[in-house]
Amino acid sequence: MTNDLRRISWLVLVCGLGCGQTGGNATTPTGSTTGGEATTTTTGTTAAPTSSSTTAEPTTGEPDPCAASPQALADCIDPAAYAEDLQFIADVRTPGTPHWQAVQDLCADRLSELGYQVVLMDYGTGVNVVGRRLGKTTPEQIVVVAAHYDHISDCRGADDNASGVAATLEIARLLAKTEFDRTVHVACWDEEEDGLIGSEAYVAAAKAAGDDIVVDFNFDMIAFTSAAEDSQTVPVGFELVFPEAYAELEANQFRGDFIAIMSSAKANAHATAYAAAADRIGLRRALIELPGGQETSDLFADLRRSDHAPFWDAGYPAVFLTDTSEFRYANYHCMAGPDEVANLNLDFAAAVTRATVEASAVALGM
């Protein structure tokens, strides 16, 4: 999650990958093209996880029980695969470093193995990895699931944002099990820590191409929890605009044991679907919807500190999923200590992933 030096408190507090063509500055530097579908093949510098559960699964002719409903699909998540990817991704990956390249390769290779059309969007200073599966009835409508894969120097960034990238890849595996009415884009953004540069490039190209983005589900830090009272803080004035969410926090003695669902007004239906998915599996959550038309306000700077913000700015619906960063986690950006996998609650992260599978499948028309 970016640490914007311009931020103030909350209240005082893909490239043009439309349906069927690539656009903008998208490139496929080392790929092959078959039947008009762009794919990429990349060479990693570090051995990435190769669990069989992450590759496209053979067809037996029998219906996949996971594809019976959004709930069944969500219930097929593989926590072990999530943990393996998280462990691999969590290392220093400043843009241009060997592990940054290795994680970029992991995103591209995994999505390609799963049958996505993969584009490496080189926008000049960085590279987004975007995988696409076309919808069967309304392919012009796009649902985005994404997380940034870059991080700052001298910090392993397990929560920020290896936790989100691992979730994105596990969701990609499950969404590849069936066809949907709408198109899905699964993305690994670059240069979030430098000012949301990668996601801004994608959104700019999407707007130029006239893409119809139904919703963006954006992960940034989804794996740290604390059951201690008063472990969750909020900015001054939060209770004035979000009184219901504040009352729930107060009733729970301000424990940091929930996922925050931060939504623009346009994404309310998708945020509500996510909340229902969380409730179904017993995942504690706080639903926070910004007032209509206020998504771009500097008053809400702390709600805009990740890659959903360019979508809000462009008028696209977006839902931000987060453990609230330094409002709960002292080791954000390694400020009070290392941001390591050992600090994280992997069961919680798996539950966040599970709920997002369900909500994204609903958004895709399943």
Q: Average pLDDT in the 280-309 region?
A: 89
For the chain, give percent helix, strand, coil, nearest 5. 40, 15, 45
Task: Determine contact, residues 362/179, Cβ cutoff 8 Å.
Answer: no
Chain segment 200-231, per-residue pLDDT in tens: 999 999 999 999 999 999 999 999 999 999 99
The predicted structure's pLDDT at residue 94 = 97
Residue 148 has pLDDT above 50, yes or no: yes
Window from 84-88, 182-186, 293-297 with minimum mean pLDDT? 293-297
Domain boundaries of the chain, sorted by first residue: 66-355+359-363
| CATH dotted code for 66-355+359-363 | 3.40.630.10
Task: Provide the Cα torsion 89, 364, 120, 222; round to 10°.
Answer: -20
**Token representation of residue 235:** 């900015």
Q: Give pTM, 2 decimals.
A: 0.86
- Give residue 342's identity as a one-letter amino acid code: A
Q: What's the rounded mean pLDDT across residues 223-252?
A: 93
What's the number of CA atoms in the CB half-sphere (13 Å) around residue 148?
35
* DSSP-based three-state secondary structure for 274: helix
As a whole-number percent, the residues of the chain with pLDDT over 90 amount to: 76
Burial track 184-222 (b if 16+ CB lie within 10 A, e otherwise): bbbbbbbbbbeebbbbbbbbbbbbebebbbbbbbbbbbb
